[in-house]
Amino acid sequence: MVEKQANNPLHGITLEVMVRQLVQWYGWERLGQRITVKCFTTNPSVKSSLKFLRRTPWARSKVERLYLATGKKRQYRK
C-alpha cells in the first residue's frame, strides 16, 4: 500500500538538496554553529555530511528542522 505524503513538507526534497541549500544560506561555519556535528565543522563537504546524516537519525532530524525553519523565514522575507 502506498502511503500518501500530502501533509509532509519535506516530501520530494532530498537530504542532499537540504544540505546544499543550508550551506548556501549559512555557510559551513554558521551551519556548524547551529548544528554542532563534526561533519559541519571539521573538513566539511556535502559528501561526508550526507554519509554521516544518513547513518545518524538524530542529526538528520536536526537538519530537517533547521531546513524547514529557515525555509519559512526566507519565505516571509520575499
* Domain residue ranges of the chain, discontinuous segments joined by +: 15-77
Question: Whole-structure pTM over 0.75, yes or no?
Answer: yes
Q: Which CATH number fits domain 15-77: 1.10.1740.10, 3.40.109.10, 1.10.720.30, 1.10.3720.10?
A: 1.10.720.30
- Between residues 8 and 59, which one has the greater pLDDT? 59
Q: How far is CA 45 from CA 12, 19, 40, 55, 74, in A?
A: 23, 10, 8, 16, 24
pLDDT at 22: 96
DSSP-assigned states of every residue in the chain = -PPP-TT-TTTT--HHHHHHHHHHHHHHHHHHHHS--HHHHSS--HHHHHHHHHH-HHHHHHHHHHHHHHHHHHHHH-
pLDDT of 14 higher than 80: yes
pLDDT at 1 over 60: no
